[in-house]
Amino acid sequence: MKKIKAVIFDLGGVLYRIDHSLTRSAFARLGTAPEFSLTEHHDLFDKYDRGTTETPDFLNELRSVFGLRGDDTELIEAWNAMLLGAIADNIALAVKLREKMPIYLLSNINDLHYRAIKSELDTAFNQFDGLFMSYRIGMRKPDAEIYASVLNHIRYAADEILFIDDAPQNITAASLQGIVTQQLDAPELLPPIIKKLLSGN
């Protein structure tokens, strides 16, 4: 990793704990359990991540598409059930890495989830050199266009950038753009990667 000059971090599963099954279980209590996981989900969730569906429409479509019962508050609570909190140690190491090279965040995230975690992560977000939030930029991983857009913004060569993500489809797509990748199967595996970068090895 000696030629790495910048690092792009995913958020969920890397710097923030999530458990998709908790949202599926919460939805089930409201009437049904739509498929929602790291690798498979209904197109409605993709559209919401891209910001092409507004929050009120998203909540209404949860009712009309999946037959979920409940008012907006109940649906939002179920949708946010997967959010388990920031991984403080990983964030601290990422911020420390910024003393050596730029760090960026590339996340498939939507309006409700961003609002739910914003206060907790505001200070951390301010430490990154750039935040690429899918619902704000109208693209989401693993679409090729989002990686091209990020590369254009960062202006390092693809093989000078390390991208760390927990989803295999996102890693594959980034690799096809020439980006150096590291799939993270568990958040606990991040510290040795960052420490290696910090040591220059």
- Map out the domains of the chain with their CATH numbers: 6-17+84-199 (3.40.50.1000), 20-82 (1.10.150)
pLDDT of residue 108: 97
User: Per-residue confidence at 42, pLDDT binned at 50, 70, 90?
Assistant: confident
Please tell me the distance from the alpha carbon of residue 5 to that of residue 200, in angstroms, as a whole number.
11
SS3 182: strand
Mean pLDDT, all residues of the chain: 93
Q: How far apart are CA 151 and CA 16, in angstroms?
A: 24
User: What value does the mean pLDDT take over residues 120-142?
Assistant: 96
When pLDDT is averaged across residues 38-64 and rounded to a whole number, the result is: 89
Q: What pLDDT, on the 0 to 100 scale, is given for residue 34?
A: 76
- Span 6-28, mean pLDDT? 95
Percent of the chain predicted with pLDDT > 90: 87
Work out the burial of residue 105: count CB atoms within 10 Å of its CB; fewer than 13 is exposed, 13-18 middle, 19 or more buried: buried
Asked if residue 3 lies in contact with residue 68, where contact means CB atoms within 8 angstroms, the answer is: no
pTM: 0.93
Average pLDDT over residues 68-84: 96
Residue 39 clears pLDDT 80, i.e. is over it: no
Between residues 42 and 60, the one the model is more confident about: 60
Looking at residues 44-52, what average pLDDT do you find? 94
pLDDT number for residue 120 = 96
Assign 106 to helix, strand or coil: strand
pLDDT (tens digit per residue) in 185-195: 999 999 999 99
Arithmetic mean of pLDDT, 142-156 = 94
What are the start-end ranges of the H helices in the chain? 20-29, 43-50, 55-66, 72-79, 88-97, 111-125, 134-137, 144-154, 168-176, 190-199
Residue with tokens 């970068």: 197
pLDDT of 1 strictly over 90: no
Indicate the SS3 state at residue 109: coil
* In the predicted structure, residue 9 carries a pLDDT above the cut 90: yes
